[in-house]
Amino acid sequence: KVSILWFRQDLRLEDNPALCAAVQSGRFYPVYILDDESAGPWEMGNASRVWLNGSLEKLDRSLEGKLSLYRGNAEKILPELAARLGADCVYWNRCYEPWRIKRDTSIKQTLTDTNIDVKSFNGSLLWEPWEVLKKDSAPYKVFTPYYRACRASTLPAKPVPVPKNITALKDDKSLSLQGLSLLPREKVWVERVCANWAMGEKVAHIALEVFIENGLARYKKGRDYPSEKSVSRLSPHLHFGEVSPNFVLDLILKQDNSENRDHFCSELAWREFSYYLLYHFPKLSDENFQSKFDGFSWFGSEKELKAWQQGMTGVPIVDAGMRELWQTGYMHNRVRMIVASFLTKNLGVHWREGAKWFWDTLVDADLASNSASWQWVAGSGADAAPYFRIFNPVTQSKRFDEGADYICTYVPELAKLPARYIFAPWEASVEVLHSAGIELGRDYPKVITCLKSSREKALLTYKGLG
Ligand code: FAD
């Protein structure tokens, strides 16, 4: 009697309920299927592929080389595999992207029709989206009452340890990791992203310990300052399931520092809320949550979008953020909000364009968190920041990057300017710029738009929505 354990966004051994069930059942084949076909427009972006490559390598090592890899449509591959290997049960932890729910439902039907059991588990969320509903059984649309209801409901499951006596089998007809061809061709970019990260379950645990040791004590305040090391940088590990939110929560709740600890828990809950929204409103990634935004006339151009992507807008904090993203596959949350507000409001480019670029370049690209966050900043989302609250990038950078350390890390060409001009070089006189060796338009771009008038234009366009 053998079974199949299908790894998806749970690339770990610790606290993995599907793994525990498979081990209990006896011998099993651990498998991973790269299924771009079913993902359609949401096939994994380039940065995610870099991460996945490293993560699968580590998972295979933990499984002593027994992970079997495949590429193609899982709806076709999995039933064929189960038949060929003689499996009587397939185990997996649930995923929540609409395309995955559709695919997995169909696979489950096909397998059960041929007398192969399917057992699915919650391995990625603290609360299942269908467990937390309003009194009238409708889903919440606002974070605070949602989170309150979560806390009043059942406690998240305690993490389960790695099972003993794992007897994994390998399919010798499966692909090698190289056979999946995950790594994009741009070698220099891949190397740079990899230089900033290490993938895998062990590293995820270390990142969590380092955060508890060094970041948690100042998390609530420090999380807003991009040059501080106060955030956990756990997002890609959580996205790929190298560590479970239950494991993280369990360890965090054991710490003393209640104010910072509770704030961190509420950020984990924003991740939950994003999944919750995507589950209940499956069009979140493609359509405005508030349909009144369907009539909004986006006024931005392709050229402006390109300048934003390349970190060449002439607004230092925006360019620093976009360059951090390109160079490391990550961007600090405060800066994500600033660049997203700048793109959608000052440049008038549709939030979907920004979300697409993030999707391709973030190592933590996540359909739920990315879509919910972009809509939140753009003002079109559930429980969104009101549209008229437009971030002023200069004020934001003066406040959260006071010494301009973050800006100068990614926009070093401005480092010689007197500090007060680094935030808004267009305010410096030609003489000041000259003595720092800078000519705007030559050494650093002229500012792409006037912050004041573009803000007014955005507000007027918004008013036009009625
Ligand atoms: P920490 O501050 O250490 O937080 C711990 C964990 O809580 C994070 O790892 C993450 O899983 C969760 N979390 C924190 N803030 C949020 C949030 N606002 N929404 C959802 N979950 C949150 N996060 C992604 O994981 N993937 C994305 O694709 C993504 N796209 C974003 C796009 C925009 C425009 C914005 C404004 C935010 C986006 N976020 C996304 C949310 C947030 O920026 C990142 O989760 C966070 O910066 C990751 O860094 P960290 O792990 O150090 O966070």
- List, as residue ranges, the binding site for FAD: 219, 264, 364-366
The Cα–Cα gap between 442 and 281 comes to 47
Asked if residue 170 belongs to a domain, the reply is: no
pLDDT of residue 268: 98
Q: What is the Å distance from ligand 1's center to 268 Cα?
A: 9
| Residue 105 pLDDT grade (very low, low, confident, very high; cuts 50, 70, 90) | very high
- Whether residues 138 and 246 share a domain: the answer is yes
β-strand 27-34 against 68-71: which pairing, if any? parallel
Structurally, the chain folds into a number of domains equal to 3
- Whether residues 206 and 234 share a domain: the answer is yes
Is residue 187 over pLDDT 90?
Answer: yes
CB 20 within 8 A of CB 158: no
Asked if residue 176 belongs to a domain, the reply is: no
- Whether residues 340 and 354 share a domain: the answer is yes
CB atoms within 10 A of CB 76: 15
247 lies in which domain range?
Answer: 125-159+200-282
Asked if residue 343 belongs to a domain, the reply is: yes
- Whether residues 329 and 371 share a domain: the answer is yes
Q: What is the tens place of the pLDDT at every residue in 375-391?
A: 999 999 988 778 888 99
For ligand 1, atom 37, name the residue with the nearest CA.
Answer: 373
Provide the token pair at 352.
Answer: 């979907």
- Specify the ligand 1 atom closest to the Cα of 219: 2
The Cα–Cα gap between 242 and 93 comes to 13
- Whether residues 337 and 243 share a domain: the answer is no
Q: Return the CATH number at 117.
A: 3.40.50.620
125-150 average pLDDT score: 97
For ligand 1, atom 48, name the residue with the nearest CA.
Answer: 235
CB 351 within 8 A of CB 293: no
Domain boundary among 226, 252, 282: 282
The Cα–Cα gap between 197 and 190 comes to 11
Does residue 334's CB lie within 6 angstroms of at least one atom of ligand 1? no
| Residue 258 pLDDT grade (very low, low, confident, very high; cuts 50, 70, 90) | confident
**Tokens 């409103």, residue located:** 281
Asked if residue 174 belongs to a domain, the reply is: no
pLDDT of residue 445: 98
By most ligand atoms within 8 Å of CB, the mutation choice from 231, 373, 383 for ligand 1 is 373
- Whether residues 205 and 141 share a domain: the answer is yes
Is residue 144 over pLDDT 80?
Answer: yes
Domain boundary among 224, 257, 282: 282
Is residue 326 over pLDDT 90?
Answer: yes
Does residue 324's CB lie within 6 angstroms of at least one atom of ligand 1? no
- Whether residues 98 and 154 share a domain: the answer is no
Report the length, in residues, of the chain: 466
- Whether residues 255 and 310 share a domain: the answer is no
140-158 average pLDDT score: 95
Domain boundary among 256, 282, 308: 282
- The partner residues of 87 in beta bridges, in order of sequence, read 2
300-309 average pLDDT score: 97
Q: Return the CATH number at 211.
A: 1.25.40.80
Does residue 230's CB lie within 6 angstroms of at least one atom of ligand 1? no
pLDDT of residue 124: 98
Is residue 139 over pLDDT 90?
Answer: yes
Q: Return the CATH number at 458.
A: 1.10.579.10
Q: What is the tens place of the pLDDT at every residue in 8-37?
A: 999 999 999 999 999 999 999 999 999 999
- Whether residues 307 and 373 share a domain: the answer is yes
**Residue 206 half-sphere exposure toward CB, CA atoms < 13 A:** 7
pLDDT of residue 96: 98
Asked if residue 188 belongs to a domain, the reply is: no
334-338 average pLDDT score: 98
Does residue 9's CB lie within 6 angstroms of at least one atom of ligand 1? no
The Cα–Cα gap between 94 and 102 comes to 12
Annotate 148-184 with DSSP letters as a single string: HHHHHSPPPPPPPPPPSS--B---TTSBPTGGG--S-
- Whether residues 99 and 149 share a domain: the answer is no
- Whether residues 314 and 457 share a domain: the answer is yes
Contacts of 370 (CB under 8 A, 6+ apart): 285, 355, 358, 359, 362
Asked if residue 145 belongs to a domain, the reply is: yes
- Whether residues 208 and 353 share a domain: the answer is no
Asked if residue 153 belongs to a domain, the reply is: yes
pLDDT of residue 466: 66
pLDDT of residue 383: 80
The residue type at 241: G
Asked if residue 442 belongs to a domain, the reply is: yes
Does residue 267's CB lie within 6 angstroms of at least one atom of ligand 1? yes
Is residue 455 over pLDDT 70?
Answer: yes
